[in-house]
Amino acid sequence: MNSDSILPMGDEDKSADNKAIERALNQFFTKANGIVGSEANYQVLLAVELEKEYPGKVRREHRMAETGRGGVDVVVLSEEGEALAAFELKGGAYNSRNALQDVFTEDGNCQDMNKLSKLKVVPAHRWLVAVDAIELGRSLSYRKQIRAAETAGSYNVSFAYHGHGDKTFLLAPSGGRVRYPEIGTMQPEISGKSIDLSTLITRQGVERDLIAASQSIQLEADIVTIIYRSLLAQGYSAKQIALETYFNFAPGNMHQRPDICLFAPGVDGHFNLYPEGNTSRSYDSLKLSMLKLLVEVKGGRPLLGKKDSTLQNIYRKDIEKLNQWKVVINGAAQRLSLDIPDTAFLFIGVDLRPYPIHHDVLATISGIANENNICFHYVHSPN
């Protein structure tokens, strides 16, 4: 009789989940290596890796009663729809700084540890995941990593950490010992493929994947995740797909960032504002010269009860936002002595309502998009 056969009832499932989570974290850290930008890039990439282990059960920005109005970055649901595992992510760039500088205290504490401790999820499946963008200087030294793992454990929270370029990652499940598994093979320095807009959105691409995954959609963040996953499946690299990309010339304020940007491969994950955090330099020229597609997305269950006229106004605002992006991008290119980028601007409306938007309303929205030279793609996918 082997040791697995004498485990208490249910422990076999817990062990399987622990292994699945570790596999997902390993692949996540491997593919996030070298990507610097907003934290959303890490959230969506972890969601994609967890989806491989838990098809149809992964949600982003998932709202739970224990957290009030705020959501949890990534959640895996059980067959009954309850939270099976929960993940809060920290990392990336904030202005010129490594984002981890702002969230971990000297004693290794992080506010999200307390947040995770309140969830009705077993401690081994409550994860605080940190990615250290070494381009901006390592924020968590070995000593601070251990302190963070110990502090997380005091909250009954698990902790995982990887610094870009490290050959191993720290894995500290709540109640278990600290381990350092090796991460997978590093990605090539420049990876991905050239952009093919003619096939990217079609029924063989993003639209097909949105329809197939409609039952997994709760919020707009889930739609963005499905599009991101579809782009990866089409051969694009995580180092050329950016969420909430930082630009110094962003319209409005720095919180106004595109849902998705698709770059030529040469951007190589440099989605942040400044090389090595040096504010006297900028990545704007690199990103502008590589920017091929800028996408805004609208949809999710909050729009299920909206009338066609309301949906038209919501869509129109995002089309106008894209037009504003087009104006500031062209202006920035001129100031930087660059050719006007051959960037496409795309708005995707995903309608989960039982009946599609009326064709007259759809024609009006299409007309507004055409007037602004914005691509408009409507996907009716009843939830």
- How far apart CA 93 and CA 34 sit, in angstroms, is 12
Q: List, as one string, the DSSP characters of 134-190.
A: GGG--SS-HHHHHHHHHHHHHTT-EEEEEETT-SB-EEE-TTS--B-PBP-PPPPSS
Q: List, as one string, the DSSP characters of 180-235.
A: -PBP-PPPPSS------HHHHSSTTTHHHHHHHTGGG-SSHHHHHHHHHHHHHHTT
Sign of CA dihedral 31, 36, 39, 40: negative
> According to the model, what pLDDT value does residue 186 have?
59
Type and span of the H or E element at 61: strand 58-63
Tell me, letter by letter, the H, E, C secondary structure of 62-114: EECHHHCCCEEEEEEECCCCCEEEEEEEEECEECCEEHHHHCCCCCCCCHHHH
Q: List, as one string, the DSSP characters of 268-335.
A: TTB-SSSGGG-TTS-SHHHHHHHEEEEEEEEESGGGTT--HHHHHHHHHHHHHHHHHHHHHHHHHHHH
- How far apart CA 240 and CA 196 sit, in angstroms, is 13
> According to the model, what pLDDT value does residue 201 have?
75
DSSP 266: G
Torsion, Cα 106 107 112 117, to 10 degrees, reads 180
> According to the model, what pLDDT value does residue 375 have?
93
- How far apart CA 9 and CA 40 sit, in angstroms, is 38
> According to the model, what pLDDT value does residue 8 have?
36
- How far apart CA 209 and CA 153 sit, in angstroms, is 39
Q: What is the pLDDT along the chain (383 residues), one digit of tens a residue?
A: 232 323 233 454 568 999 999 999 999 999 999 999 999 999 999 999 999 999 999 999 999 988 877 899 999 999 999 999 999 999 999 899 999 998 999 999 999 999 999 999 999 999 999 999 999 999 999 999 999 999 999 999 999 999 999 999 999 999 999 999 999 875 554 567 777 777 787 767 899 999 999 999 999 999 999 999 999 999 999 999 999 999 999 987 656 899 999 999 999 999 999 999 999 999 999 999 999 999 999 999 999 999 999 999 999 999 999 999 999 999 999 999 999 889 999 999 999 999 999 999 999 999 999 999 999 999 999 97
